[in-house]
Structure 1
Amino acid sequence: MDPLIATVSDVPSPDATQSPSSAAPPEPARLWAISDLHLSYKGNREELEKLEPRPNDGLIICGDVGETVEHLRQCFTTAKACFKQLWWVPGNHELFTMPSSNGRRGEDKYMECVEVAREYGVLTPEDDFVVWKGDGGPCVIAPIFTLYDYSFRPDHVTLENALEWASEENILATDEHLLHNDPYASRVEWCNTLIERAQTKLAEAVMQNLGTRLVIINHWPLREDLVNIPLVPRFVIWCGTKQTEDWHNTYNAKVVVSGHLHVRRTDWKDDTRFEEVSLGYPKQWRECQERGMDINDLLREILPGPDPPPPGQPATLWRRYGKGTTDTPAIFLKGAKP
């Protein structure tokens, strides 16, 4: 028998002067998030194994775990051992079909990822939303999947010319080769279908939970004005859709969680906090490691989370080194060809 498993008769009698209620109460459950783990990189896989147990807490995994179901399994196995509940939304990398795999494509690839998540009890955009009752709650946790429609572009650039406009600066996302839109005619059509589904589900969540705010989770930013990538500004066309710009107000969001940009930041818009929670490629967070930080320092607390800044203070907090600094933004290059 495990020596830690004792029968009642084996347990020493408590001190008669000690009140049973004097035991320390459990820590309130907190909700954390991280994205863009990119487990195709050995350094990131090794870092994932350093994840520390938070058995009372929840973790949002906000897309771009990797390109294969094996990456998902490694992530879910490790994270599930550390957290009570996991949520996952797809990024563009999960949707890739690698040339050597001859695997599932488009929507089928997405559903394959959902099937893997369900094996581990991980909640996805295809599952019912649940109410978080831990610290910072109650909140409805709302994972969604929207993709992008190339509408994050200047007004003078047409949809038909969007790729040409990006290529003028030698920018071409890997998505154009590896992210297939089967069975839809285009990624725009797939995005529009996903937008309709998400709108319906979010609206129902608001109506069924009147007065309870939402935590909306999506790999791609909901707002174009939160995309800050000066080194590759024309990569913006692969970063979301203008159709979601006011969803934080429409659907009573307390927090919106996203990744994709590899630029950690916190923004306050109206009455909503926006969190970009990327880890990124190893070279992009090497400075954090050099400062003695690891993956646990780069988890972002979503609930209860920080208070909004006082009036007159900046509404954007750059988090290059995790917790939040006033440093200039780290400019990261994601999925683009120089």
Structure 2
Amino acid sequence: MRVHAVSDVHVDYDLNARWISALSRQDYTDDVLILAGDVSDDLSRLRWCLTDLSGRFRKVVFVPGNHDLWVMRDDRRITSFEKLDLVRKVANDCGVSTAPHEEVGLSVLPILSWYDFSFGQPSADLRRVWADFTACRWPSGIDEEAITTRFLAETCDGAQGSIGRDVITFSHFVPRRDLLPWFPGRESLNLLPVLGTGRIDTKLRSLGAVVHVYGHSHVNRRAVIDGVTYVNSALGYPQETAISERRLRCVYER
């Protein structure tokens, strides 16, 4: 049994949807797939992708990303919290888990998260161009720190059920600022405030993770920091071949 990881598949792009469709239906039938967010804000495309992947892997575990919670194309004025409920229902209908997944000797634990500006304060330019500020809709009085707190509180502690097991955690957002120096381009430094939060790292370490999978930055990398292996395996946008390897990455095998 192997555990593979991918994030940021963005199947609104035809090339990415074809990449999903081209995955083997024979090679992964005993394996688990971690899908670390950003599939599509379109629920029909999300359903197609999750259904397709669930037919190729023994189990798919999924945590939504920011794009999945956009509401700009929804028919009624729902909040992004309500969109999260719809996304989870679609996943459940497709046989995809958004809850902890247990194997013999292994726990795979999703960490629902957001960003809280602990990596830096957003500039006026970033607030103007970053799509989440207009494509997401939150109840009045809810800011990014409150969203992060609410989402992280939904992550079970997993401690008792994980005793004697290897623990893999995964989030969509980046868990540590020091995972980001490889982010290319001087202008990309302006994105730091919306890339993640160190509170994810506190959470994953409290869960006893040996591996943590994340996404969002689209910069594929593997790093070992203080005993935890961090892996970003983003498919990314079609033009991002210089930073995204566009392949499944095996993060665990036994």
TM over 0.5: yes
Contact 1:184 1:190 in 2 (8 A): no
Indicate the structure (1 or 2) with the bigger Cα radius of gyration: 1
Aligned to 1:132: 103
**Counterpart among 10, 15, 34 of residue 38 in structure 1:** 10
Q: Report the count of equivalent residues.
A: 249
Query: 1:260-296 deviations in whole A, cap 9, x for unaligned?
Result: 01110001011111000100001112898xxxx9x5x
Question: Cα offset for 1:224?
Answer: 1.2
For the residue of structure 1 that corresponds to 2:69, the secondary structure is coil
Q: Does 1:263 align with 2:219?
A: yes
For each residue in 1:55-105, what CA deviation from the matched residue of structure 2 results, as whole angstroms up to 9, or x when unmatched? 111111110001111121111121111111110100000011125744532
Structure 1 residue 60 corresponds to structure 2 residue 34? yes
Query: How well do the aligned residues superpose, as a CA RMSD in angstroms?
Result: 2.3
Partner residue in 2 for 1:11: none
**Separation in 2, partners of 1:108, 1:287:** 33
Which runs of 5 or more structure 2 residues have no equivalent in the other structure? none
Task: Name which structure has the greater RCO, CA cutoff 8 Å, separation 6+.
Answer: 2
Q: 2:115 aligns with which of 131, 148, 162?
A: 148
User: Shift of the alpha carbon at 1:197?
Assistant: 3.0
Which residue of 138, 142, 162 corresponds with 1:209? Answer: 162
3-state SS, counterpart of residue 55 of structure 1: coil
Provide the C-alpha distance between the structure 1 equivalents of 2:145 and 2:80, rounded to a whole number of angstroms. 13
Alignment partners' CA distance in 2, 1:100 and 1:119: 19
Aligned to 2:146: 189
1:103, 1:89 → 2: CA distance? 23
1:299 and 2:248 matched: yes
- What secondary structure does 1:280 align onto? coil
User: 1:113-132 to 2 correspondence within 5 Å?
Assistant: 113-124=87-98, 127=99, 129-132=100-103
Q: How far, CA to CA, are the matches of 1:266 and 1:66 in structure 2?
A: 25
Q: Check 1:40–1:107 CA distance in 2 against 1; reply closer, same or farther (3 A cut).
A: same
Superposed displacement of residue 117, structure 1: 0.3
Contact kept, 8 Å, 1:32 with 1:58, in 2: the verdict is yes
Q: Any stretches of 5+ residues in structure 1 without a counterpart?
A: 1-28, 154-161, 306-338
TM-score, L = length of structure 1: 0.68
Give the corresponding residue for 2:135.
178
Counterpart-to-counterpart distance in 1, 2:59 and 2:77: 29
